[in-house]
Structure 1
């Protein structure tokens, strides 16, 4: 099985190969594109799709909440590789920190 880091490299190489980095991309735009993928996941749910349902859309494109969530992760992996962020390492660090936090830390409702 591939590591997150290996997949991050492959995802970025594919984005470069398909022309998405022919010109420098603005970081805020990249973040907004992540938001748009999350919004697409929400719309799939609002349209009555099961949360674990994947289906083929137009031209055989994978659709559904799982596919849209995968798109978010793919965009994040691409960004991380471009900006020299080891996503696997920081996920592991954050996970370890989060394990040390108190129950429902911060006192917020959600």
Structure 2
């Protein structure tokens, strides 16, 4: 189910969906991040998932859900690659593994950019 306010015309606005499974999954449920951002420490591993393109240029959109593990990075390290602000969490530094994801919660919107 797509988010009712999703728009392809607004970059990353409400870009998430709920997937209803036909049977039980072997995967553990997702844990919500701590409100004080203590879960986003540089070096701590994060898993991101999505259906984004498989290459920066001329990439194709995969049929199956993709996932990748990358370490969180400090805001200072990310600022060398992109414009970041206090609403963003950044991670990466692993060759050929990245993602861009928007995470919504009841109290804030946090843009997560993985490089």
TM over 0.5: no
Higher RCO (C-alpha under 8 Å, 6+ residues apart): 1
**Structure with more of its chain in helix, by fraction:** 1
Structure (1 or 2) with the greater strand fraction: 2
Instruction: Please give the TM-score of this superposition, normalised by the length of structure 1.
Output: 0.29
Which TM-score applies when normalising by structure 2?
0.28
